[in-house]
Structure 1
């Protein structure tokens, strides 16, 4: 038999066998699913990036066993930071195996796991290790003119031993490419969707390594108005998952990248940006704008960053705070003092140091100028709310209004409870709501206009006015603030490099209507630490510390030409409570930051 006959005979035999098999299945049905895949350990296959948006994650499939008592350890590189966490039974069931988080990109990782596997009533305790290669960290859409790399460089300057276990989520953005500027949402000019930049979200460890990053492409699209916008407002919920928003969406995903929900904003609202706060009752406070406001002059406009809605997990709008009805949208003393070169993310170096005049503000009404522009009245950026928090002791919200340089507490009844900001420019309705500055003994501090003695200062164009829950009660309210510092004292300084930012803790006596400044940092760092926009100050109860991100500091700016000569180089700091110097300092290079925050891995994988 020659070779051709041999091949033909084999083919006939294979076909006959296939026919018999097919016939058997047709007569008796399938005998059961047969799962085949390559395995490298004692259970199932390793699935990389199982949900497509978190490339440095994996799942070791359960292989048909019930897995319990799970512990995961990512073996660090030499001199690196260990990541070790327990996995709840619920998380093992949810992911169909062992979730692996914190892989090094461009590296063959050693992952040690221990678990109990059970099948047919028999259990076995197992400890084993896997070799898992993860691709280098890279963002597909980051490669365009003007971008140096997918991610920032990390310069670790100081880490005290107590803080070496920190994992830090950095919520940044890449400069807007050409295809991000096509959509205009607010005619005649855009609202928040004008801010349409590609996300740069990553988790770093205290050695400077990226241990997680987001590939946003499956859920983000520049060319879809309902899938675009800057990702902002990240918060880790009590179940360990993260919520945030972008453009016309607000979403919830776990640390593995699994979608929990992804909602469009309700139709009566538009333009999410800055803030989404999980409430203690399971609802969310979301900073949006109104899709249709009828002004006192009869004109209909879209508003800009001046509405808070409370939504439940089903997307039902439980309540709303229309700030143009609650506050005075025509208070313009701060608007006339703002540096027009840095109105939050709308940074225009050609306008650096310029301020608005009363005539320019009046002309906006005369000429029907509306949209994302600094101006008074609904339909303009008069409030620019950049954070919202909830106080469960009296069912109130606390907002940070950048363009009023004020932190304001508002009740469920939509009445103002107090104002933490300069007393200048408030109408009679609000004057008695402005807090009185006091010293550590409770004695009033002498103030004149917007300037006070004794080291006290108000916050100016601030971000993140958050209640420190573990230190506050019904009467005493501790407030953490990032005081950006533009228009400090209701004026621009003689020299631009005289500007500075501060992380500040205030203590408010809500009965006496007084405020004491109990801690500050940043003034001594001067202009190098100054962040004209964005940033964060947050109390961390696990270490009784204050975490700070000066997110747009360190940009090289030529004051003669009025041009930025480099991207910002933000600072991450963490302080023991009351400390004058940081226990942790990390500087990022060449990146525009929004916020950063500590990630609790145990919470993420121990959720029930």
Structure 2
């Protein structure tokens, strides 16, 4: 919704320009329309209408009928209905939609549009079903999302009404919508539950596919490669463990599919990595494991005995624990590196960013060396300072400002700044279990947005930028969030997606919805060029959205 098509009336149209007249002090949306989209939609696509408002839409175009050509200027009045996002029916909800506090927008970022991929809480309409034959997996991880595009004035200019493609009560049409990417052709790709899809911003379906039968439970990340392939973070639908038990695994497989949905390769992380490395699992706050917020487990961590008892049991599924069939890896991002035909993954429950080749061999590991056995310990990157000198480190941390990431999200290569063995990498360091421990007080926790420079040949890593430590607990996001470089403005985009909620320290749980921070930084700067706070939203991730890619190019 908040789009329209002005039909062509039987004429040929060319050279179209569209302008949505802004509200007072609002953001102008104006764009040229590529002729191919005039043919695709049978008219002029209109994007960015204000909800519950009579919009003024100005269009200019060339109209052709036979040998007659006219230059036309017109203005249309269009009412767009209110934005609507389905309620989860939970006590934390206080309004139908979030509100936005625009704190700062530098002039060169005034034209930005941001796609918000927020989530609703678990409700009685979902989380009803678990897998059998075999057991395990994360089918019950099922709640609706709240996706919208906002401008830098804080107005909603597009939102998703998923009802025609999504049904919370259906196994194969539900899940959590995640992994949004704007492809080079301007369309959006993402996945949810047992599906992965691609649609354009006007709602045109490009594909909507079931996961291949060898896999289940898409979530978190779907990366698009230049050759049209997609890298899906999924899980195995049937894996025989070394103890002979058949299970569905949890968030620990990357499947590569081609343009036609055929699987051309897979990375089975339970075979590639050590699914019994448990040093991080013993330090996790069990009250906040990704979006599984459970106040009854706040402050509780798992012991060696807990993990051993769990592994000998038949308890499988979306629970933290060692071994395939449990949430031992919790991979929340995958990024394909075409330069050496590898993938970079972020494993929350290993507090590690890992590069793995097409040969399924680990190239390097960015994270604490604690608990990594041979051959993985030889792949751990050594922290160095700006002069290339080794930094003194222990398993729990290093001297100076350098730190590893802890329960991080979104490990992305910065392609335009990387070359050969030198790789720049962005990540969101959530910070739970920082230093291999839970702090004395919840208020001591903090998150960071961080950029690293990795020398892949010499196996070293330098931290070149961070933001968030100085903001302290108010900016802390226990789960979710994103840091991603933006080539078009040489900037770093950050969404601290579960920050700013009212938090009850006695139970370690949100008593109100979070109030995420959305920020964008000029490269290398310590103060944001853009800062907005979204009140009353449980964020997952967000990203700048390019209207030029979507309708002009």
| TM-score of the aligned structures, taking structure 1 as reference length | 0.89
Q: 1:237 aligns with which of 179, 183, 188?
A: 183
* Residue 209 of structure 1: aligned partner: 155
Q: Distance in 2 between the 1:271 and 1:141 partners?
A: 23
Q: Does 1:314 align with 2:260?
A: yes
SS at 1:414's partner residue?
A: coil
Q: 1:507 aligns with which of 435, 441, 453?
A: 453
- By how many angstroms is 1:509 displaced? 0.5
- By how many angstroms is 1:512 displaced? 0.8
Change (3 A) 1:556 1:188: farther
Q: 1:288 aligns with which of 234, 240, 244?
A: 234
The root-mean-square deviation of aligned C-alpha atoms, in Å, is: 1.3
Change (3 A) 1:282 1:229: same
* Residue 340 of structure 1: aligned partner: 286
Describe how 1:378-417 pairs up with structure 2 within 5 A.
378-417=324-363
Q: Distance in 1 between the 2:85 and 2:396 partners?
A: 46
- Residues 143 and 149 in structure 1, CA contact (< 8 A), matched pair in contact too: no
Worse-superposed segment, 525-534 or 341-350 = 341-350
Describe how 1:398-477 pairs up with structure 2 within 5 A.
398-477=344-423
* Residue 276 of structure 1: aligned partner: 222
Q: Distance in 1 between the 2:121 and 2:311 partners?
A: 32
- By how many angstroms is 1:365 displaced? 2.1
- Residues 342 and 533 in structure 1, CA contact (< 8 A), matched pair in contact too: yes
- By how many angstroms is 1:450 displaced? 2.6
Change (3 A) 1:494 1:206: same
Please give the per-residue CA displacement for 1:305-326, whole angstroms capped at 9, x wherever unaligned: 0000011121100110000010
* Residue 18 of structure 1: aligned partner: none
Q: Does 1:263 align with 2:209?
A: yes
* Residue 66 of structure 1: aligned partner: 12
- By how many angstroms is 1:262 displaced? 0.2
- By how many angstroms is 1:292 displaced? 0.5
Change (3 A) 1:311 1:573: same
Q: 1:137 aligns with which of 59, 64, 83?
A: 83
* Residue 29 of structure 1: aligned partner: none
Q: Distance in 1 between the 2:207 and 2:95 partners?
A: 31
- Residues 553 and 569 in structure 1, CA contact (< 8 A), matched pair in contact too: yes
SS at 1:321's partner residue?
A: strand
Q: Distance in 1 between the 2:384 and 2:245 partners?
A: 44
Please give the per-residue CA displacement for 1:360-411, whole angstroms capped at 9, x wherever unaligned: 0001122221111101110010000000001111000000000000000000
- By how many angstroms is 1:146 displaced? 4.9
Q: 2:45 aligns with which of 99, 102, 108?
A: 99
Q: Does 1:576 align with 2:522?
A: yes
* Residue 373 of structure 1: aligned partner: 319
- By how many angstroms is 1:438 displaced? 0.3
- Residues 93 and 536 in structure 2, CA contact (< 8 A), matched pair in contact too: no
Change (3 A) 1:389 1:428: same
* Residue 506 of structure 2: aligned partner: 560
SS at 1:417's partner residue?
A: strand
- By how many angstroms is 1:60 displaced? 0.4
* Residue 47 of structure 1: aligned partner: none
Please give the per-residue CA displacement for 1:85-131, whole angstroms capped at 9, x wherever unaligned: 11111111111110000000010000011111112132111111111
SS at 1:428's partner residue?
A: coil
Q: Distance in 1 between the 2:380 and 2:205 partners?
A: 43
Q: Does 1:354 align with 2:300?
A: yes
* Residue 25 of structure 2: aligned partner: 79
SS at 1:542's partner residue?
A: helix
Q: Distance in 2 between the 1:563 and 1:83 partners?
A: 40
Q: Does 1:126 align with 2:69?
A: no
- By how many angstroms is 1:191 displaced? 3.3
Q: Distance in 2 between the 1:395 and 1:339 partners?
A: 35
Describe how 1:126-165 pairs up with structure 2 within 5 A.
126-140=72-86, 146-165=92-111
SS at 2:282's partner residue?
A: coil
Q: Does 1:479 align with 2:425?
A: yes
Q: Does 1:603 align with 2:543?
A: no
- Residues 372 and 381 in structure 1, CA contact (< 8 A), matched pair in contact too: yes
- By how many angstroms is 1:560 displaced? 2.3
Q: Does 1:301 align with 2:279?
A: no
Change (3 A) 1:190 1:347: farther
- Residues 130 and 138 in structure 2, CA contact (< 8 A), matched pair in contact too: no
Structure 2: gaps spanning 5 or more residues: none
Q: Distance in 2 between the 1:392 and 1:272 partners?
A: 23
- Residues 192 and 273 in structure 1, CA contact (< 8 A), matched pair in contact too: no
SS at 2:489's partner residue?
A: coil
Q: Does 1:489 align with 2:438?
A: no
Q: 1:539 aligns with which of 474, 485, 493?
A: 485
Q: 2:199 aligns with which of 247, 253, 265?
A: 253
Q: Distance in 2 between the 1:564 and 1:392 partners?
A: 41
Worse-superposed segment, 373-382 or 347-356 = 347-356
- Residues 311 and 321 in structure 2, CA contact (< 8 A), matched pair in contact too: no
- Residues 192 and 229 in structure 1, CA contact (< 8 A), matched pair in contact too: no
Please give the per-residue CA displacement for 1:148-173, whole angstroms capped at 9, x wherever unaligned: 22321111111111111110000001
* Residue 177 of structure 1: aligned partner: 123
| Aligned positions, number | 553
SS at 1:178's partner residue?
A: coil
Q: Distance in 1 between the 2:372 and 2:528 partners?
A: 37
- Residues 414 and 423 in structure 2, CA contact (< 8 A), matched pair in contact too: yes
Q: Distance in 2 between the 1:185 and 1:523 partners?
A: 41
Q: Distance in 1 between the 2:167 and 2:223 partners?
A: 24
Q: Distance in 2 between the 1:87 and 1:567 partners?
A: 39
Larger radius of gyration: 1
SS at 2:179's partner residue?
A: strand
SS at 1:217's partner residue?
A: helix
- By how many angstroms is 1:419 displaced? 0.4
Q: Distance in 2 between the 1:220 and 1:413 partners?
A: 37
